[in-house]
Amino acid sequence: MAHSAEIIAVGTEILLGNIANTNAQYLSCELSSLGISVYWHTVVGDNPERLRAALELARTRADIIITTGGLGPTYDDLTKQVICETFGQRLVLHEDILDGIRSFYREALHREMPLNNTQQAELPEGCTIFDNAVGTAPGCAFTSGGVSVLMLPGPPFEMETMVERCAIPYLKRLSDETIVSHDIMCFGLGESSVEELLHDRMVHMVNPSLATYAKPAEVRLRATAKAASSTEAEAMLAPVVEEVKSALGSYVYGVDVSGLPAQCLKLLREKNVTFATAESCTGGMIAAQFTSLPGASAVYRGGVVSYWTSVKHDVLGVDQGLLDEWGAVAEPTARAMAEGARRITGADLAVSVTGVAGPDCDERGNPVGLVFVGLATPDGTFCRKLQLGKRRRDRIRSVTCNHAFDMLRRYLTDLPVEEL
């Protein structure tokens, strides 16, 4: 049976713009991987009448309703009460949950539980309880009139942890089908270019299905299959994944990997190769993205953020005559920066970045979006010239980081490095 879902975020702070509704984005991604179609996102304030109206509408058009927020201990946390009234469920106090909340306050916060936290232990009678491993508000789920209702906490870390540990297993039990997905990650082509290359195939696919998702500076293709078993689903997906890899060629950098930094870490560790960084306009973003990964210390030697031209000369050893002739933003400078980082750290490989992230041109009149990415290797030094246009400063820096990692992974996989 195909399921349709509506996500209802409860919280006046979302409507006021104080916080972004990242929970809905996260849930939509997770539900799509389960083959559940999300057709509606709703945001409603902490108002019982408006929440009741949203629930009444949702139950007429979706068979899965997921709410986030409103499970706290304060007077305006009314999600459970309103949902139970709407669906005719009785709230009951669960003493074991209340004892757990009391223990959390005593052992983790070293104080007694406030009395108003008692309402967090009140849940619909006969519901499936979702334990909150990182907070005090448990979630829950029940089915009424053919509609499954899941209540999740609002804080993103609590919500995501509960989804992974509790909600996903619960949702999987709602279907007698097994759903398997694989993410094919590619860099160097925009979403429209990817769709154009695969359009004739994608429009006729039902099961397995193939969908594109644009991420900052890259594209993810998700192939999903439904079958009676995971073995059957995997057999259906294998030719789809291979067909996409064949169509997109070297633009595909991995399957089921979290991003280019993670793929580079995997390749560096497999080949027992170390690398270093020399960054100017990215200000240490490449190093930060890489060192956020567990195991990065095995292959990352270190880096230099050479924002000033004098640091390029004094620390990285870039020749002053070269800097006087070409300036900070130039191919010779990027090459020299990478070579300097490789030399002073003793790394096998080193990437460098120098460019104009904006919002204005540099002192030599180089335009916003002009960036040079260098890669120093035992086989010579490579450089890629980027003309990213007058985009937002953060986008230029983000795209540049991915180009640096792309050059690194191309070298490690014996692909052409400088051109995409």
Q: pLDDT value at position 196?
A: 87
- Asked whether residue 126 falls in the same domain as residue 190, the answer is no
Number of other residues whose CB lies within 10 A of the CB of residue 363 = 10
Predicted confidence at residue 216, as pLDDT, reads: 65
Task: Note the pLDDT tens digit of each residue in 350-389.
Answer: 999 999 999 999 999 999 999 999 999 999 999 999 999 9
331 is a domain residue: yes
| Domain contains 222 | yes
Q: How confident is the model at residue 33 (pLDDT cuts 50, 70, 90)?
A: confident
Query: In terms of domains, do 108 and 93 share one?
Result: yes
List, in order, residues 6 or more apart from 210 with CB less than 8 Å away: 198, 201, 202, 221, 222, 223, 224, 240, 244
Residues 146 and 21 in one domain: yes
Check whether residue 79 and residue 39 sit in a common domain.
yes
Percent of the chain, pLDDT > 90? Answer: 79
Same domain, 137 and 244: no
Helices (H), 34-76: 48-61
Query: Which of 156, 172, 188 delimits the end of a domain?
Result: 172
| Six token digits for residue 109 | 């916060």
Rounded-to-integer distance, Cα 300 and Cα 406, Å:
16
The DSSP annotation for 305-363 comes to: E--SHHHHHHTT---HHHHHHH-SSSHHHHHHHHHHHHHHHT-SEEEEEEE--SSS--T
What are the pLDDT digits (tens) for 159-186?
999 999 999 999 988 877 788 889 999 9
Token pair for 375: 């890669």
Residue range 338-343: average pLDDT? 98
Query: Is there a single domain that holds both residue 293 and residue 330?
Result: yes
Find how far residue 151's CA is from the centre of its chain.
Answer: 23
Domain shared by 167 and 193, yes or no: no
Q: Is residue 294 assigned to a domain?
A: yes
Give me the domain span that covers residue 187: 178-255
Cβ atoms of 268 and 405 within 8 Å: the answer is no
Write the CA distances from 383 to 160, 289, 338, integer angstroms.
Answer: 40, 21, 9
Domain membership flag for residue 18: yes
Asked if 186 and 194 touch (Cβ cutoff 8 Å), the reply is yes
121, 138, 172 — which closes off a domain? 172
Confidence band of 41 (pLDDT split at 50, 70, 90): very high
Mean per-residue pLDDT, 53-57: 98
Mean pLDDT of the chain: 94
**Residue 237 within any structural domain of the chain:** yes
Predicted confidence at residue 416, as pLDDT, reads 95
**C-alpha span between 420 and 412 (Å, rounded):** 15
What's residue 192's pLDDT? 87
Find, among 180, 192, 181, 193, the residue nearest to 249 by Cα: 193
108 pLDDT band, cuts 50/70/90, is confident
* 417 part of a folded domain: no
Q: Are residues 293 and 404 in the same domain?
A: yes
State whether 165 and 21 are in the same domain: yes
Nearest CA to 391 out of 371, 411, 372, 376 is that of 371
Same domain, residue pair 161 and 208: no
> What would the pLDDT profile of 17-28 be if each residue is shown by its tens digit?
999 999 999 999
pLDDT of residue 199: 85
d(CA 46, CA 42): 13
* Domain count across the chain: 3
What pTM value is reported for the model? 0.78
Task: Tell me the CATH number at 198.
Answer: 3.30.70.2860
Query: pLDDT (tens digit, 9 = 90+) per residue, 216-272?
Result: 678 999 898 988 888 999 999 999 999 999 999 999 999 999 999 999 999 999 999
- State yes or no: pLDDT of 110 exceeds 80: yes
How far apart, in Å, are the Cα atoms of 218 and each of 56, 189, 253, 406? 39, 7, 10, 11
On whether both 140 and 240 belong to a single domain, the answer is no
Considering 255, 284, 302, which residue would you say is the last residue of a domain? Answer: 255
Residue 285's CATH number: 3.90.950.20
Same domain, 341 and 273: yes
Section 93-99 average pLDDT? 92
